[in-house]
Amino acid sequence: MSFQDLEAKIREKRAIVGVIGLGYVGLPLIRAFIKAGYATLGFDIDPVKIQRLKAGQSYIGHIPSQWIAEWLASGKFQATHDMGRLCEPDAILICVPTPLNESRDPDLQYIEQTTIAISKALRRDQLVVLESTTYPGTTREVMLPVLEGTGLKVGKDFFLAFSPEREDPGNPDFSAERIPKVVGGIEPQSTRLATALYGNAVVKVVEVTSAEVAEACKILENTYRAVNIAMINELKVLFQRLGIDVWEVVEAAKTKPFGFQPFYPGPGLGGHCIPIDPFYLSWLARRQGMPTRFIELAGEVNTSMPEYVVQRLAEALNEHRKPIKGSKICVLGVAYKKDVDDPRESPSFELLQRLLAKGAEVSYNDPHIPTLPKMRHYRVPAMTSQELTPEFLAAQDCVLIATDHSAYDYDFIVRHAPLIVDTRNATKRVQSHREKIWKA
């Protein structure tokens, strides 16, 4: 087979698409390619995930089990943890985590391990695309040497590109196939093949001149958000001291039809991108002997928000002649954003840990996360979501709203809880008992 044969196979949808990492990015990507008419093969090292998928069961809230069952019934989807089968797909898309280590430097172990696994099965005329967010240069400097260590050459024997994932979990307006994809190859033929592949599955493909540009694009998108969220978080603290409601200010400012995009404050950053990706860029800048003061400052502001929330909670309790120590505090929402079951990097874990350290009797409720998962950076005991009965709410000294899920009846919560600390402006439409509500 030749480059032309692989391109024809992709364009005619005869290619098999493999996706490594069947999480919040990988499964929606599988869906996009199945809808486009491709056969898919999903890889994950977690045998429990594979077992559930083979049984037609989903483990992600916004991916219904019905979809999985339909994929299996159509014959367009298989799931496996056998990395030896990586020789089967014609295109391999990598959607693995890229966290930070303890010193907040890039942790590329999952990309490195995945690349080694691919190299052991790599054959001629395969397209490999990295989607995991990372610093500019990763695809060329980290992946390419390992893949070419097989003796195969990029652009001749196999093809390599980067196309950053763009997922907004829980947002039905932006499913994977409806989001434009940026594509940059290691060399022109890799770009051409990746463009052909994604062009059949998503609404639009944006070609850029290199993998490095595509990698930098994703970092820019998330750094832009992190910096602007930091600005509004800092203004929140200032406006609170001035007796001004920051949410009302934002609502007024966004009526301007040009030159302004609204960002909203919160208890800290969450999710798999915004709290992490800017530090990839600042790490790369340090390697080049250049400080990224703007990014570092934004990171400091955003990471200080949980401490500010706990401080505001202490002030609220103090008005009721109570300390944090010994107080019963229920945290509402441990997902990183509303209406999803994704707890990655959620500031709620930092809040729980800080409150526990101060001696609070802590509980939580989240309709999307019934059991508190273990998180690699936090030491929080095992908990289960508590039912929000009138008796439970009345027994709390304070209810802390950390995630503004739509499922919550905020009138009910405010009516029965003695004190509310609201970090999301979730109670803005509550009319009665507003004297109980503290903004944070």
Active site residues: 273
Q: What are phi and psi of 159, to 5 degrees?
A: -135, 145
Structure tokens belonging to residue 109? 């172990």
Element (H, E) at 351: helix 347-357
Outline where DSSP puts E strands in 186-264. Answer: 205-207
Give 420's strand partners.
399, 437
Structure tokens belonging to residue 317? 């309790």
- Residues near 410 by beta carbon (within 8 Å), at least 6 away in sequence: 426, 427, 429, 430
Structure tokens belonging to residue 287? 């390697």
Cα 25 to Cα 232: distance, rounded to the nearest angstrom: 28
Cα 32 to Cα 77: distance, rounded to the nearest angstrom: 12
Cα 354 to Cα 351: distance, rounded to the nearest angstrom: 5
Helices (H) and strands (E) in the chain, counts: 16, 13
C-alpha distances in Å from residue 26, one per residue of 79, 127, 165, 180, 376: 12, 17, 9, 16, 21
Cα 402 to Cα 423: distance, rounded to the nearest angstrom: 6
The answer to whether 55 and 20 are in contact (CB under 8 A) is no
Element (H, E) at 279: helix 277-287
Outline where DSSP puts E strands in 23-86. Answer: 39-43, 77-80
Q: What are phi and psi of 17, to 5 degrees?
A: -105, 120
Cα 333 to Cα 363: distance, rounded to the nearest angstrom: 11
Start-to-end C-alpha separation, the chain: 61
Give the burial class of 25: count Cβ atoms within 10 A of its Cβ; 0-12 exposed, 13-18 middle, 19 or more buried: buried
Element (H, E) at 228: helix 211-242
The letter for the amino acid at 312 is: R
